[in-house]
């Protein structure tokens, strides 16, 4: 980038501008998934909305491929790009809780740990994911599935409004009253429509939850999974528990004789009274003979950060995902076969329940298109060693190929890597055409295209 072109941005920009020749460049271009190794031409680390406006204007006028980076967690590395401009929001961190109104205004560079910390001081929370280091922006814009989904819905079901900078540089507010078409589209349609600079979320009284894992030996996986599929869809909405195949980490919270053992399990996170949660989860926890049943009252932010240390940034990740309405015997058999062959200790498969409160919203009410599914499944091959890339990728693809015929056809967009336009369309399903119409209105030239891309309607 020549000095004259760059000067135009520098005149209007207060944040940090990082170029390939800068010492900070290599650290700044890193994202969570170490399999992604992209080299942008320029990283614009914004400090405020004015910086975002200047960066969008600069990217558009210089005709640069432009990526938006929130928490940098995206599976396919869509928070960064090769050669072009990265609008990096990671410095825009602020959470303002209004305890009376039960809302939180969250700046777009926050990760979920920032929100949990601020809201927990008031005994409140809003639905997010299952790890505290994920970005608020990317997770929310794709939908948001996590520990509180069955009780309080997806993250987008608790989004009251958002502020955005559009491709033409305008700053707009999106809510049920203002630009409702845009508000509909950003609730599941990803970063296709503009740079969100802040979100307003509804908070709920969630303080201490009844949480923790129940693990069973792999030999019982068939019995446990079959019990789980009928248990969870009938359980009270206070009960959330996702199913997993995993390797027990060698962490102090687990007895040493279980360290590094491959198991299947349910990770619980229940709202409401602990006694009621204990009673409601007991039938499932009494199936077979668990090797560990470690469930009890825990502060919500602790549950949200339980996996942080196991999954630090910088591991190799390969993802595949699908939605599932049912878990037939055939699907269970494939899960047991592939889930029992985890290729590395970090690799895992999670089935997140998305029924309960998430089913109270219709498919067409937000851009998130699979309200009729009961689970969002994700298979992740993970390892610190790049030499194991082939191994984790092959296992993940084989598992996905075996399961896909049992799926609803599309995946949660936040669990997709770069898998092509057909897969994007399958994931937005009947909402795709309406999204394409909104795209035409707000970003007709497809300036925001480093994402699970929606093409503007013809
Ligand atoms: C370890 C791990 C655990 C996860 N757990 C969950 C989970 O429990 N539940 C769940 O729902 N998801 C989960 N995810 C998936 C997560 O939701 C996606 O990876 C999401 O894209 C991350 O958002 P980010 O802001 O960190 O990502 P980034 O890589 O920064 O951005 C991802 C995408 O979001 C867009 N984007 C980011 N910020 C903005 C913005 N301000 N305005 C407009 N567009 C923007 C970008 O266009 C980009 O395409 C997990 C991911 C990881 C790696």
Q: Can you spell out the DSSP letters for 277-316?
A: HHHHHHHHHTSS--SEE--EEEEHHHHHTTTTTTS-TTBE
Pocket test for ligand 1, best of 414, 417, 418, 449 (most atoms within 8 A of CB): 414
pLDDT digits (tens, 9 = 90+) for 171-230: 999 999 999 999 999 999 999 999 999 999 999 999 999 999 999 999 999 999 999 999
The three-state DSSP-derived secondary structure of 115-172 is: HHHHHHCCCCECCCCCCCCCEHHHHHHHCCCCCCHHHHCCHHHHEEEEEEECCCCCEE
Using 50, 70 and 90 to split pLDDT, how confident is the model at 2? low
- Mean model confidence pLDDT for the chain: 97
Work out the number of other CB atoms within 10 angstroms of the CB of residue 288. 15
Containing 401, the helix (H) or strand (E) segment is helix 389-403
Q: How far is CA 146 from the centre of its chain?
A: 8
Using 50, 70 and 90 to split pLDDT, how confident is the model at 105? very high
Does residue 378 or residue 3 have the better pLDDT? Answer: 378
Tell me if 77 sits within 8 A of 31, measured CB to CB: yes
pLDDT digits (tens, 9 = 90+) for 383-432: 999 999 999 999 999 999 999 999 999 999 999 999 999 999 999 999 99
Candidates 14, 37, 13; CA nearest to 386 is 37
Pocket test for ligand 1, best of 38, 74, 94 (most atoms within 8 A of CB): 74
For 374, the 3-state DSSP assignment is coil
pLDDT digits (tens, 9 = 90+) for 15-73: 999 999 999 999 999 999 999 999 999 999 999 999 999 999 999 999 999 999 999 99
pTM greater than the 0.75 cutoff: yes
Please indicate whether residue 72, judged by its CB atom, sits closer than 6 Å to ligand 1.
yes
Q: Would you state the structure tokens that stand for residue 134, as one six-digit string?
A: 């994920």
Containing 269, the helix (H) or strand (E) segment is strand 262-270
Please indicate whether residue 195, judged by its CB atom, sits closer than 6 Å to ligand 1.
yes
Please indicate whether residue 395, judged by its CB atom, sits closer than 6 Å to ligand 1.
no
């Amino acid at each position: 980038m020549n000095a004259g072109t760059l000067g135009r941005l520098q005149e209007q920009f207060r944040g940090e501008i990082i170029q390939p020749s800068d010492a900070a460049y290599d650290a700044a271009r890193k994202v969570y998934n170490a399999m992604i190794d992209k080299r942008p031409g320029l990283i614009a680390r914004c400090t405020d909305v004015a910086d975002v406006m200047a960066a969008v204007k600069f990217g558009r006028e210089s005709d640069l491929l432009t990526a938006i980076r929130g928490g940098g967690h995206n599976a396919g590395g869509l928070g960064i790009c090769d050669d072009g401009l990265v609008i990096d929001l990671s410095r825009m961190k602020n959470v303002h809780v209004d305890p009376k109104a039960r809302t939180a205004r969250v700046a777009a560079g926050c990760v979920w740990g920032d929100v949990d910390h601020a809201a927990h001081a008031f005994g409140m929370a809003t639905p997010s994911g299952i790890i505290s280091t994920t970005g608020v922006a990317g997770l929310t814009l794709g939908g948001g599935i996590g520990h509180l989904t069955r009780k309080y819905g997806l993250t987008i079901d608790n989004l009251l409004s958002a502020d955005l900078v559009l491709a033409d540089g305008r700053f707009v507010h999106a809510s049920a009253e203002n630009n409702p078409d845009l508000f509909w589209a950003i609730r599941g349609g990803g970063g296709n429509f503009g740079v969100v600079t802040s979100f307003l979320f509804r908070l709920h009284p969630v303080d201490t939850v009844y949480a923790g894992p129940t693990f069973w030996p792999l030999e019982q996986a068939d019995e446990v999974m079959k019990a789980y599929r009928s248990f969870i869809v009938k359980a009270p909405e206070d009960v959330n528990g996702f199913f997993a195949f995993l390797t027990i980490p060698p962490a102090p919270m687990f007895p040493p004789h279980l360290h590094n053992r491959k198991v299947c399990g349910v990770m619980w996170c229940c709202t409401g009274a602990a006694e009621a949660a204990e009673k409601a989860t007991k039938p499932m926890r009494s199936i077979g003979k668990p090797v560990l049943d470690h469930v009890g009252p825990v502060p919500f932010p602790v549950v949200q950060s339980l996996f942080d240390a196991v999954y630090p940034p910088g591991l190799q990740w390969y993802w595949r995902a699908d939605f599932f309405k049912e878990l037939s015997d055939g699907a269970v058999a494939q899960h047991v076969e592939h889930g029992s062959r985890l290729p590395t200790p970090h690799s895992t498969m999670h089935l997140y329940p998305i029924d309960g409160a998430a089913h109270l919203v219709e498919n067409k009410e937000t851009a998130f298109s699979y309200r009729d599914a009961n689970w969002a499944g994700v298979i992740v091959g993970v390892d610190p060693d790049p030499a194991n890339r082939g191994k984790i990728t092959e296992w993940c693809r084989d598992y996905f190929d075996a399961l896909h015929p049992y799926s609803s056809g599309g995946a949660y967009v936040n669990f997709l890597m770069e898998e092509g336009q057909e897969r994007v369309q399958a994931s937005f399903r009947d909402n795709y055409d309406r999204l394409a119409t909104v795209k035409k209105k707000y970003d007709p030239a497809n300036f925001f295209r480093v994402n699970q891309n929606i093409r503007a309607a013809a």
